[in-house]
């Protein structure tokens, strides 16, 4: 039998056990539709091995992309590097969000040196 305390050295250690509401209050600035209680607990208590490997899977979910679009539209954001306006993107919203999701998942969204995305 192994000693689990040695296996699970947290990346950061909280000052004792916290109530869920108390933890949520400390992280009130994060998007509650994105950051789950489990994720916040990992932020508080650390993760196995002390390393975070990737959060991209949280970014490319359709739920998060819809939320992001809603916020950009509400702030009347401007066209991006591809010169596509909010109105243009919204005309094919579900298809566009699906394309963005797939590109993010595959890692096909790395900016080129010219500043355009491919």
Task: Provide the pLDDT confidence category of residue 18 given band limits of 50, 70 and 90.
Answer: low
User: Distance (Å, rounded) from C-alpha 11 to C-alpha 102?
Assistant: 31
User: Distance (Å, rounded) from C-alpha 36 to C-alpha 118?
Assistant: 31
How many percent of the chain have pLDDT more than 90? 25
Task: Provide the pLDDT confidence category of residue 96 given band limits of 50, 70 and 90.
Answer: very high
**For 104-115, how does the pLDDT look when each residue is reduced to its tens digit (9 = 90+)?**
888 887 555 444
Q: Give the pLDDT score at 111.
A: 55
Sequence spans of domains, the chain: 4-50, 56-106
- C-alpha neighbours within 13 Å on the C-beta side of residue 37: 5
Task: Provide the pLDDT confidence category of residue 93 given band limits of 50, 70 and 90.
Answer: very high
User: Distance (Å, rounded) from C-alpha 115 to C-alpha 95?
Assistant: 24
Q: How high is the mean pLDDT of the chain? A: 75
The answer, yes or no, to whether residue 81 has pLDDT greater than 50, is yes
DSSP state of 111: B
Region 29-34: mean pLDDT is: 78
């Amino acid at each position: 039998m192994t000693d689990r305390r040695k296996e699970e050295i947290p990346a950061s250690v909280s000052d004792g056990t916290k109530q869920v509401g108390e933890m949520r209050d400390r992280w009130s600035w994060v998007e509650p539709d994105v950051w789950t209680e489990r994720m916040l607990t990992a932020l508080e208590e650390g993760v196995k091995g002390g390393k975070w490997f990737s959060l991209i899977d949280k970014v490319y979910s359709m739920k998060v992309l819809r939320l992001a679009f809603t916020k950009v539209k509400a702030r009347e954001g401007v066209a991006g590097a591809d010169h596509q306006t909010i109105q243009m993107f919204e005309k094919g919203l579900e298809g566009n969000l699906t394309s963005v999701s797939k590109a993010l998942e595959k890692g096909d969204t790395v900016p080129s040196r010219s500043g355009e995305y491919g």
